[in-house]
Structure 1
Amino acid sequence: MTRVRIKTKPKRTFQMRVAGLGFRNGHVLVHRATHEKFWTFPGGGAEIGETSEETLKREMVEELGVHVTVDRLLWIVENFFRYEGRDWHELGIYYRMSVPDSFPFAPDGIVHRIRDGDNDLEFKWVEATASALKALDIPPYFIADEIENLPEAPRHLIWDDRNLDAKS
């Protein structure tokens, strides 16, 4: 299948990304590419012809090796950021998801590693608090402020952090 990503000149990219927030024991699952300083919520690029829920389920099988349950839609984010010298326009779709108990849990340290294309990914559980997420550096940054009180109904946001140093 073909990923929903368009690159243009000068150095601009559009993509559709679907991510899930999985919770356990007061923690939320996060991941990063090992060459990065920042973390993100697990997920990945949508492929043409699949729904956002299908994208999240596929990505979690590929990255975690488990079948997640996609619970409810939290946010649809028009996300603008600068990364690796490019301006990105991302349509981000964020769900609450249930990660099966068979996936490892530990409150400290890396619980899972995998090679994904050209990237080595590592996963860990972090306290699901605003202070823990802010200390971790996890864009889009508004989620840290809302992690302790997730929206009851889906929210649409426009988020622009192109001028923040964390993504330069």
Structure 2
Amino acid sequence: MKMRACLVILKNQREILLIRRKKGENEYWVFPGGGVEAGETATEAAVREAQEELSLDISPGPVLFELTNLGRKEIYFLVKKYSGTIALGSGPERKRQNQTNMYEFHWIAQEAVQDINLKPSVAVLKLLQCELSKWR
């Protein structure tokens, strides 16, 4: 089964960094992250994806939750330690970015995730079920 490393990047114990995607007429939100490549651990993929998508250096924390989505295992890492300035990195997203395929970074209040079109939707429920102690 293919795997994907997802990042739950937390700021001030209250806000989560999400990517607002606009593809044609579709608009939705996603967690930063991407596929685990051959010979790579999920943790290594999380670090690489943070650099490629966000231009951030991160220290992944504990796994908050895992789920299966579209036939692949998604591993969600809590990230509280990061450095750099958030900007579209050197990954494939930069090449795909245009007027009809956009990537925008936003800090969203933890309690507001249930009010946006966050994909996969099952991640919203999992996120809200996380123990608050893991967020501090």
Give TM-score, length-normalised by structure 1: 0.63
1:24 matched to which residue of 2? 11
1:156 matched to which residue of 2? none
* 1:118 partner letter: R
What does 1:128-143 align with in structure 2 at a 5 Å threshold? Answer: 128-129=110-111, 132-143=112-123
Displacement of 1:146 after TM fit? Answer: 4.4
Confirm or deny: 8 A CA contact 2:60 2:81 kept in the other structure.
no
CA distance in 1, matches of 2:71, 2:30: 16
- In structure 2, do the counterparts of structure 1 residues 66 and 101 end up closer, same or farther at CA, with 3 Å as the change threshold? closer
What does 1:1-168 align with in structure 2 at a 5 Å threshold? Answer: 15-25=2-12, 26-35=14-23, 36-79=26-69, 88-100=70-82, 102-103=84-85, 112-113=87-88, 116=93, 117-119=95-97, 120-129=102-111, 132-151=112-131
Q: Which structure has the highest helix share of the two?
A: 2
Q: How many residues in Structure 1 have an aligned counterpart in Structure 2?
A: 122
Displacement of 1:123 after TM fit? Answer: 1.1
Runs of 4+ with >6 A deviation:
none
Moved more, 27-36 or 46-55: 27-36
- In structure 2, do the counterparts of structure 1 residues 61 and 55 end up closer, same or farther at CA, with 3 Å as the change threshold? same
Confirm or deny: 8 A CA contact 2:20 2:106 kept in the other structure.
no
* 1:96 partner letter: L
Superposed CA offset, 1:101-127 (max 9, x none): 5435xxxxxxx4466142442211100
Give TM-score, length-normalised by structure 2: 0.75
SS in 1 for 2:29: coil
CA distance in 2, matches of 1:128, 1:21: 10
* 1:72 partner letter: P
Query: Percent identity over the alignment?
Result: 25
